[in-house]
Amino acid sequence: MLLHTVNKSPFQHAALGSCLRLSKDGSAILLIEDGVYGALKGTKISSDIENAMKTKKVYALEPDIKARGVQDRVLDGITLIDYAGFVDLAAENKAVEAWL
Amino acid sequence: MKFGILVSEGPYTHQAADSAYLFTKAALEKGHEIYRIFFYHDGVNNGTRLTTPPQDERHIVNRWSELAEKHKLDLVVCVAAAQRRGIADAEEAKRNGKDGDNLAPGFRISGLGQLVEAGIQCERLVTFGD
């Protein structure tokens, strides 16, 4: 399957919405940089992420979550990974698609 | 596994130059091969040695140069994107009649074919950008 990376805040950019809509079931989605704002509870897109997690695996880059001080607000079901985990995901999936 | 990296954002812009560096470092630490790092669009600004950040701040350009030296990495700056943004090695500067060059150590200037070739040769191409 594909690994999709999203590095834009969903509140400024359509990248995460497009990724959630167009990625296939079984895909892995990794939120990095400002994309990690998509991983938070209680936002207008939280329910979209929760829906996506029924058929897709969602990850967030922990250093980027911590850099923004939002580690206590991450949605249940999202897996936090470090850069080594990012490399593993890139290797495990057949390609990496960046939603810039 | 053989990785190629594409960087299309300048340093000190958002975070792509940092993400690309930290991903590359993690991949090398895991024993993967970084076949090439290609700098395109504003990403070419990662390759100017005139960059002078405050001394207590990370030096994104030197960091690339040091990583390239340590791991014999191929850092390629797109020639057309570099010309537009005033990034030149000695040869390019001479060819274009400029009075100075600024390409950082460990980088080389070449064409877009190098990105295509990395896409063909690498098992994964990972993009960091704006």
What's residue B20's pLDDT?
Answer: 98
Count: domains in chain B: 1
What's residue A34's pLDDT?
Answer: 98
A84 part of contact set with chain B, CB < 8 Å? yes
By C-alpha distance, which of B31, B29, B38 is closest to B4?
Answer: B38
CATH architecture for the domain at A2-99: 3-Layer(aba) Sandwich (3.40)
Angle at B94 between CA B89 and CA B98, to 5 degrees: 90
Pairing status of strand B33-39 against strand A57-61: unpaired
pTM above 0.90, yes or no: yes
Q: What does each of the 100 residues of chain A score in pLDDT, given as a tens digit?
A: 999 999 999 999 999 999 999 999 999 999 999 999 999 999 999 999 999 999 999 999 999 999 999 999 999 999 999 999 999 999 999 999 999 9
The CA distance from B77 to B112, in Å, is 9
pLDDT band at B77 (very low <50, low <70, confident <90, very high): very high
Domain membership of residue B112 as a residue range: 2-128
- Domains of chain A by residue range: 2-99
B contacts of A100 (beta carbons < 8 Å): 8, 127, 129-130
What's residue B90's pLDDT?
Answer: 97
CATH number at residue B59: 3.40.1260.10
Candidate from B124, B125, B129 with C-beta closest to A100: B129
Query: What SS3 state is found at B127?
Result: strand
ipTM metric: 0.97
What's residue A20's pLDDT?
Answer: 98
